[in-house]
Structures are given as C-alpha cells and as structure tokens.
Amino acid sequence: MITRREMITKTAISALAASGLNSTALAEISDFPTPLPRIARFERMGMGLFMHFGLYSQLEAGEWAENNQGIPRDKYLELMKTFTAKDFHGRNFARLAKRAGAKYITLTSRHHEGFSLYDTRGLSTLDVMHTPCGRDLIKDFADGCRAEGIMPVFYHTTLDWNDARFNSDFPAYLQYLRDSVEILCTHYGKIGGLWFDGNWSKPNADWQEDKLYGVIRKHQPEALIINNTGIGAGGKLGNPEIDVVTFERGRPIALDRRGHPKYVVGEMCHTLNFHWGTAAKDFNYLSPAHVIEELCYARRAGANLLMNFGPTATGGIPEYEGAALHKVGDWIRLTGGDAGPIYQGRPTSIVGEGDDFALELNGDLYLFIFQLTAVSDTRAVTASRGAGKRIFKGVDQKYGSAIWLDNGQQLSSEYDNSSAQLTLDTTGYPYGTNTVVRIAKMRRG
C-alpha cells in the first residue's frame, strides 16, 4: 500500500504550508519552512496589476524607447516639459484592479530612464515635481489604492540610464538608490512592497543588497521585497530578505521549499501586448482568454499573476486593456470570487492530462479543464480535445458529487482506488457559453 509520505511529491510539498497542515504535521513530512504572515497573505492574492508609466509614455513606443532608439539624454529629457499626467488618477486604477479581480497594483515609481513619479525631495531634478504635472503621482496612487482596499506596491529600477554615477561612481549611485527608496518607505504610509528591477544589468557587481533591504526592513518591516531576476532566470533565489521570486513572461513551476531557511512564493509578470509601456503601433494584444489561461497556469504552481498594461501618454486607462481586464474579473467572479479556488485553492500532487490540473480547498477538489470547446481558438481551424472523459492520477481518496462551477450541472465520475485514478466525464458548453478554462468542483466523499 502507498503510504502518505510516498504520495507527497515535490509539487505537493511546495504548497503544503498554506494548505491547512500545521507546523507539526509539516515537520513530520520534511524540513519545511513556515511562511511569514506577509508572504502567506500575498500568496492568496492570486493576481495583481502591473503599470509602466513615465516620460516614455508620451512617445508611445514602449518603455525602452530612449535606449532602443538611441535618443540623446538632453533631447529625451525635453519630454519633462510636456509631462502633464492629466488623466492619472490612482483611485481609477484601484477601481480597475477591483473590477479585474486583482488584489494589488505594482507601479513604476522610477524606471530605467531615471525619472521619478514621486517627489525626490532634492535628490534629483528628474522627478515629477519638475514637470507641468507638479504633483506627486506616487502619493496619488498610494492614497487611491488604500481608498479601494487595493495593496500598493512600488516598482523601482536599480539601474539608471541618465545618472552618470551608475557607470562612473557606482558606490555613490547605490547610496542615491538607497536614499530614494528611503523616501518611498517614509512618506507614503504603509506599503505592500518594493519590486526592484535592473540588477541583471551588472551581474558581477556588488549591489550592496543587504544595505538596500535594510532600509526597507527599518521603515517598512512588513513590506514584501522582490527583485526581478529577468527573462530566463525564473524562480532563481537571491538575497535571504527576498520574499517573492519572479518568473518574467515564463510560466511558473512549483517551488520545492524543503530545506530552505525561508518560505518564498512565486510571481509571474506578463504584459497585455509586447511592450510594458504604451505602444501605439503594437496591435498584438493578449485576449481575455489568454489572460485567464495564464492566471490558471500561475495558480497551478501556487504563484501570482502580475498582469501589465501601459497607461496612456497622459496617464489614463487605455480602452482595450481596461475592457479585457474587466472580462477577466467577470470570469473570476463566475468561478467563486474571493472564496473560490483562484484565490484560496492550493496546488496538489494530482496530475491531469495535458494542461488539466487540480487545486484543493477545504477538502474539496477543483478540477481545471482546458480545451473543452469544439475548437481551441476563435479561428475555428485547430482541433480541440472537446468534452468527454478526463483522467487525473495521484488522487488518494474518493470524492463525492461533481458539478460545474459556472452553472451547477451535475457530472459523473469514476474512481479506481488501486491506481489512485479519477475519471471525470465532462460535458460541453451550452450554446453561447465559453469560460475558456472550466472548473469542476468535487466534494469530499
């Protein structure tokens, strides 16, 4: 007979600390760290919005426009003269997040161009207070988030294209970086976290991370610390103070946390088109269906999805991105909302066919079923798996009734105890319905 210990795989162990087992039970299974409260809360947020906004937004050619187009520094910084951000309102972004089902927003307080959306209080002239906008957008953002119950997170670059010290006097530049972060930690109330990006630009440099993170722990001890490892380095662990590991535009994998001194969680950042800042000539947008699938893939591994869009040149919510995110929120509500498996479900060791997978919540099993439509995309040219029997292996108990979450329809299932295999007999969508990923709930037997 297969023992309980033998049934627990790396995938399952990576999620057990948040699945209901207490620390004593975990200790019996493996050398497994207990998540800190701030990390446990973040893991259940499920989805956040990412926003890239800066001087580059006026060029509508993506956030790397200065670098990619080789624009001279003096010419590029002339964009400060026309930066009004007249349509930037933090509360509007927070309302969009709520409508989309996102629990937090990460905003670029300063991107690689070196321009700050906050009042640097004399550290630099390259900030929003030296533009026609004349108001602290980070304060507006943080206040707006709190008014709507959304957690504000500040993205902050660690590299700088327009500060000579970055190349000529790196220690002095790092002190400037720490002083900048201290402003963010001391003038905007309680913040959810700091999201750093840029250490990959100097992979062999001493970034003095202990000093930087020490500033955060001194002033914002409960803030999450995230430092993006970049494309191709998804899930890489770094400094011990890091709370979240990143999977930039790469589907997360379950983290094997056994033997680690600290429980960390994953986050995958993705963007709605092929740029992070607004881009007028980029028509290759993700569909709501694509975002829904990426959200499911992230939650399969216990990670959050951080979905990006670039506000307009004047700081408004772009029409398509706003509408697409509304549809994602509609889907989340249809599948149970705040109490449902997207936020509260925990990864399991159960293995489905293809992309199908299972999450566990309060002893019930939620089966995520992909490619249920007659065709797999709207062009009607690619065959899909369709309705019928779906097999899940590694199921260690028999479950009771099965229903579709979207309409409550009863489903039949079979369970083979000897092979620990569950077979769910899925039905197709009613005409006029397509939830992209359909979820069946199986009650504990």
Residues 6+ apart with CB under 8 A from 17: 26, 32, 33, 34, 35, 40, 257, 263
Which has the minimum average pLDDT: 12-16, 108-112, 263-267, 440-444?
12-16
The whole-angstrom separation of Cα 228 and Cα 234 is 9
Banded model confidence at residue 8, pLDDT cuts 50, 70, 90: very low
302 φ/ψ angles, rounded to the nearest 5 degrees: 75, 15
Alpha helices in 19-127 (DSSP H): 23-29, 37-43, 65-68, 73-76, 90-100
Residues 6+ apart with CB under 8 A from 122: none
Higher pLDDT among residues 17 and 185, named by residue: 185
* Alpha-carbon distances, residue 191 vs 89, 145, 359 (angstroms): 18, 10, 30
- 375 DSSP β-pair partners: 383
The mean per-residue pLDDT over the stretch 355-380 comes to: 86
Of residues 142, 225, 133, the one with CA closest to residue 181: 225
* Token couple for 238: 């770094």
* Token couple for 1: 């007979």
Instruction: Give residue 260's pLDDT.
Output: 86
**pLDDT of residue 293 exceeding 70:** yes
* Strand locations in 100-146 (E): 104-110
**pLDDT of residue 13 exceeding 80:** no
Instruction: Give residue 10's pLDDT.
Output: 42
Banded model confidence at residue 445, pLDDT cuts 50, 70, 90: confident
Instruction: Give residue 384's pLDDT.
Output: 78
Question: Of the spans 19-28, 124-133, 248-257, which averages the highest pLDDT?
Answer: 124-133
The mean per-residue pLDDT over the stretch 43-56 comes to: 98
The verdict on domain 350-444 having CATH code 2.30.130.10 is no
Instruction: Give residue 321's pLDDT.
Output: 98
**pLDDT of residue 253 exceeding 80:** yes
The mean per-residue pLDDT over the stretch 397-414 comes to: 96
CATH topology of domain 40-341: TIM Barrel (3.20.20)
**pLDDT of residue 286 exceeding 80:** yes
Higher pLDDT among residues 385 and 307, named by residue: 307
Percent of the chain residues topping a pLDDT of 90: 84
What angle separates helix 319-334 from helix 90-100, to the nearest 10 degrees? 40
Judged by DSSP in three states, 310 sits in coil
Instruction: Give residue 84's pLDDT.
Output: 98
The whole-angstrom separation of Cα 342 and Cα 363 is 15
What residue spans define the domains of the chain? 40-341, 350-444
Residues 6+ apart with CB under 8 A from 378: none
Judged by DSSP in three states, 319 sits in helix
Asked if 126 and 78 count as a contact pair (C-beta separation under 8 A), the reply is no
**pLDDT of residue 17 exceeding 50:** no
The mean per-residue pLDDT over the stretch 342-366 comes to: 97
Higher pLDDT among residues 140 and 384, named by residue: 140
Q: pLDDT tens, 77-115? A: 999 999 999 999 999 999 999 999 999 999 999 999 999
Asked if 312 and 54 count as a contact pair (C-beta separation under 8 A), the reply is no
Residue 109: how many CB atoms within 10 A of its CB? 28
Phi-psi category of residue 430: left, alpha or beta, with phi > 0 → left and psi -120 to 50 → alpha: beta
Asked if 32 and 56 count as a contact pair (C-beta separation under 8 A), the reply is no
Instruction: Give residue 258's pLDDT.
Output: 83
The mean per-residue pLDDT over the stretch 160-174 comes to: 98
The mean per-residue pLDDT over the stretch 326-348 comes to: 97
**pLDDT of residue 12 exceeding 90:** no
The whole-angstrom separation of Cα 57 and Cα 315 is 8
Mind spelling out the 3-state secondary structure of 391-435? EEECCCCCEEEEEECCCCCEEEEEEECCCCEEEEEECCCCCCCCC
* Alpha-carbon distances, residue 112 vs 55, 67, 109, 116 (angstroms): 11, 9, 10, 10
Instruction: Give residue 99's pLDDT.
Output: 98
Higher pLDDT among residues 12 and 347, named by residue: 347
Residue 145: how many CB atoms within 10 A of its CB? 24
* Strand locations in 158-204 (E): 193-197
pTM for the model stands at: 0.92
**pLDDT of residue 3 exceeding 50:** no
Instruction: Give residue 22's pLDDT.
Output: 39
- 347 DSSP β-pair partners: 359
The mean per-residue pLDDT over the stretch 239-268 comes to: 91
Q: pLDDT tens, 191-236? A: 999 999 999 999 999 999 999 999 999 999 999 999 999 888 888 8
395 φ/ψ angles, rounded to the nearest 5 degrees: -90, 115
Instruction: Give residue 4's pLDDT.
Output: 31
Instruction: Give residue 378's pLDDT.
Output: 56
CA neighbours within 13 Å on the CB side: how many for 343? 19
**pLDDT of residue 2 exceeding 70:** no
Higher pLDDT among residues 27 and 55, named by residue: 55
Higher pLDDT among residues 424 and 383, named by residue: 424
**pLDDT of residue 26 exceeding 90:** no
Mean pLDDT value across the chain: 92
**pLDDT of residue 19 exceeding 70:** no
Banded model confidence at residue 380, pLDDT cuts 50, 70, 90: low
Of residues 345, 311, 362, the one with CA closest to residue 45: 345
The whole-angstrom separation of Cα 292 and Cα 198 is 29
Angle CA 176–182–186, to nearest 5: 150
40-341 and 350-444 share one fold: no
The whole-angstrom separation of Cα 278 and Cα 61 is 7
